[in-house]
C-alpha cells in the first residue's frame, strides 16, 4: 500500500500494519485549515451586520442569495401558504420523524435526586431552559428540513421561551415548503430569510427585527461555522459546537453486506464534496467487493458528481481484525460510526470516540439522519473526542442549589474555616464563623 499523503487526502487503500503513528495522525486529520482563509471575509460580514443591522441583511440577500427582499421574514400566514404544497405522504413521513425524535428527546429530561452530602447539607441541580435560542437551517445545495426537526424539537422540549429561526431565502424570496411545514409543526410562526455568516451575526448581535439570542445552533458551510467560532469568542452568545463537513466511518468484516456498506458510504459522500466516507475492513476482499458496489450504485445517483469528489477525499484501511479496526476508529473519532458486523455487541464497549453509532447490518445511518429518534447534529472533525451531539441538554443550563440547616452549618463549618485559613481568605472564614457563633471578632 502507498504512503499516506499529508493532510488526510485519500482515494487510497492502506494496510493498518504499514502505518506509523505519524501516518495515522495525518490520516485522521481533517478540515485543518480551510476556514482560515475566509476569516477576513466573515469578519467583514459580522462587522457590517453589527453596524447596519437589517439593511446589511437586505444587502447580503441581494449579493449572496440573489434576491431582493422587502421584508426579512415570513409570517405565519405566508408559512401556511407555502406549506400547503407538502403532499400527504410527505406530511406523514415528517410526522413519523417528529414523533420518534420527540419521544427519544423527551426521555432525556430527567430530574436529579437531591443529595445530602453530610447531615444538614443538601445539594442538587435543577434544569432551566436557555431563554433565547437561534436555529440556523442550511439551504445550500441540499435543503434540510430534517435539521430543523433535530434542533426545534429539543428546543421545544427544553422550554426555550424564544426560538429564532434563520434560513437562506430561495430565489423566489421564500423558504422551501418542507421548511415552512416543519416551522408550523414546531409552532414557530416566523422564519427569517437570512443565510450564511450574516445570519449568525444577526442572531449574535441582534438587529431591528432579529432578537439577539443566548445560543446559536445548527450546521452550515465554512462561512457559517467560521462565524459561529468567531462570535463564540467575541460575544456573550454561545454555540452548540463547531460542526464541519459531515463524515462516516464504517467498520466491516466478512459478515457485512458489500451493497449495504457501499450505500452507507455513498449516503455520506452525497452530502458535499468535502464529506468523508472511511471504510475500515478486515480483508482486501471486502474492500474490493465494496468498491465494486460503490461504482455500481454511484453510476445512477443524481448527486454522483458531488459523491465522487467526496470519495476522492476518502480512503480504505485494511486491518488484521476488528480490534485493530476499532483502534483506528477511536483515533479518527468519527461523527457517525457504523458497525457492519454481526460482532457488534463485542465491539460496542470498545468504542471510545464517536458521535453516533449504528449497530449491525440492518441499521443504516439514514435511519438516524431522519427518523429513528436520535439527533443528527453531531461533532465532526474529531470533535467527538470531547463533544456530544445536540440533545435536550444543549438547550438547558443545570443550576446547582444548596441548603444548610443549623446542623449543617455546624457540621461543615469547621472544615470551611480551616480551608479558608489555608488560603488566607479571612472574609470567607468569617462568613461561616458568624453563623456558627465562633467568630473571634464578634
Q: Which residues are catalytic?
A: 335-336
Report, in Å, the least distance between residue 50 CB and ligand HSO. 30
Contact with ligand HSO (CB under 6 A): which of 31, 100, 146, 221? Answer: 146
293 binds Zn ion (CB under 5 A): no
Total residues binding Zn ion (CB under 5 A):
1
50 binds ligand HSO (CB under 6 A): no
Binding site partner of 325, from Zn ion, ligand HSO, none, Cβ cut-off 5-8 A by kind: none
Applying the rule CB under 6 A, the residues between 238 and 267 that interact with ligand HSO are: 246
Name the segment binding Zn ion (CB under 5 A); options: 26-34, 117-125, 367-375, 413-421. 367-375
Binding site partner of 65, from Zn ion, ligand HSO, none, Cβ cut-off 5-8 A by kind: none
Look up residue 108 and give its three cell numbers: 432525556
369 binds Zn ion (CB under 5 A): yes
247 binds Zn ion (CB under 5 A): no
330 binds ligand HSO (CB under 6 A): no
Helix 304-312 vs helix 258-269: crossing angle, to nearest 10: 100
144 binds ligand HSO (CB under 6 A): yes
Q: From its phi and psi, is residue 166 left (phi > 0), alpha (psi between -120 and 50) or beta?
A: beta
42 by Cβ neighbours in 10 Å (0-12 / 13-18 / 19+) ranks as buried
369 binds ligand HSO (CB under 6 A): yes
Which residue number, 65 or 270, has a Cβ lying nearer to Zn ion? Answer: 270
378 binds ligand HSO (CB under 6 A): yes
274 binds Zn ion (CB under 5 A): no
Q: Which residues here bind ligand HSO, judged by CB under 6 A?
A: 144, 146-147, 246, 369, 376, 378
Q: Which residues here bind Zn ion, judged by CB under 5 A?
A: 369
Amino acid at each position: 500500500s502507498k504512503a499516506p499523503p499529508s493532510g488526510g487526502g485519500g482515494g487510497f487503500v492502506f494496510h493498518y500494519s504499514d502505518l506509523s503513528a505519524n501516518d495515522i495522525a495525518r490520516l485522521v486529520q481533517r478540515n485543518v485549515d480551510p476556514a482560515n482563509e475566509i476569516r477576513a471575509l466573515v469578519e467583514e460580514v459580522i462587522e457590517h451586520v453589527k453596524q447596519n443591522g437589517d439593511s446589511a441583511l437586505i444587502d447580503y440577500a441581494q449579493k449572496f442569495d440573489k434576491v431582493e427582499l422587502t421584508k426579512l421574514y415570513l409570517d405565519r400566514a405566508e408559512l401556511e401558504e407555502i406549506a400547503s404544497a407538502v403532499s400527504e405522504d410527505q406530511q406523514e413521513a415528517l410526522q413519523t420523524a417528529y414523533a420518534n425524535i420527540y419521544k427519544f428527546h423527551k426521555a432525556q429530561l430527567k430530574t436529579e435526586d437531591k443529595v445530602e452530602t453530610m447531615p444538614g447539607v443538601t445539594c442538587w441541580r435543577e434544569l432551566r431552559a436557555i431563554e433565547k435560542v437561534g436555529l440556523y437551517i442550511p439551504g445550500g445545495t441540499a435543503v434540510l428540513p430534517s435539521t430543523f426537526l433535530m434542533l426545534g424539537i429539543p428546543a421545544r422540549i427544553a422550554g426555550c421561551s424564544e426560538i429564532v429561526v434563520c434560513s437562506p431565502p430561495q430565489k423566489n424570496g421564500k423558504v422551501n415548503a418542507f421548511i415552512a411545514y416543519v416551522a408550523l409543526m414546531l409552532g414557530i410562526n416566523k422564519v427569517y430569510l437570512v443565510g450564511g455568516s450574516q445570519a449568525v451575526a444577526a442572531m449574535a448581535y441582534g438587529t431591528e427585527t432579529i432578537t439577539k439570542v443566548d445560543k446559536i445552533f445548527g450546521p452550515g458551510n465554512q462561512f457559517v461555522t467560521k462565524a459561529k467560532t468567531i462570535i463564540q469568542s467575541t460575544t456573550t452568545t454561545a454555540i452548540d459546537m463547531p460542526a464541519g463537513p459531515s463524515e462516516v466511518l464504517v467498520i466491516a468484516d466478512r459478515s457485512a453486506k458489500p451493497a449495504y456498506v457501499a450505500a452507507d458510504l455513498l449516503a455520506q459522500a452525497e452530502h458535499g464534496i468535502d464529506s468523508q466516507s472511511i471504510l475500515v475492513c478486515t480483508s482486501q476482499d471486502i474492500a474490493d467487493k465494496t468498491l465494486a458496489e460503490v461504482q455500481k450504485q454511484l453510476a445512477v445517483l443524481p448527486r454522483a458528481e458531488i459523491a465522487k469528489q467526496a470519495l476522492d477525499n476518502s480512503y480504505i484501511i485494511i486491518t488484521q481484525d476488528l480490534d485493530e479496526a476499532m483502534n483506528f476508529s477511536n483515533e479518527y473519532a468519527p461523527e457517525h460510526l457504523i458497525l457492519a458486523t454481526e460482532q457488534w455487541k463485542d465491539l460496542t464497549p470498545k468504542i471510545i470516540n464517536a458521535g453516533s453509532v449504528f449497530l449491525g447490518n440492518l441499521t443504516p445511518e439514514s435511519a438516524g439522519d431522519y427518523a429513528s429518534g436520535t439527533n443528527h447534529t453531531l461533532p465532526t472533525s474529531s470533535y467527538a473526542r470531547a463533544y456530544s451531539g445536540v440533545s435536550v441538554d444543549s438547550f438547558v443550563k443545570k443550576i446547582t442549589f444548596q441548603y444548610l440547616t443549623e446542623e449543617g452549618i455546624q457540621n461543615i463549618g469547621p472544615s470551611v474555616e480551616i480551608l479558608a485559613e489555608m488560603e488566607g481568605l479571612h472574609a470567607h472564614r468569617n462568613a461561616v464563623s458568624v453563623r456558627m457563633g465562633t467568630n473571634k471578632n464578634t
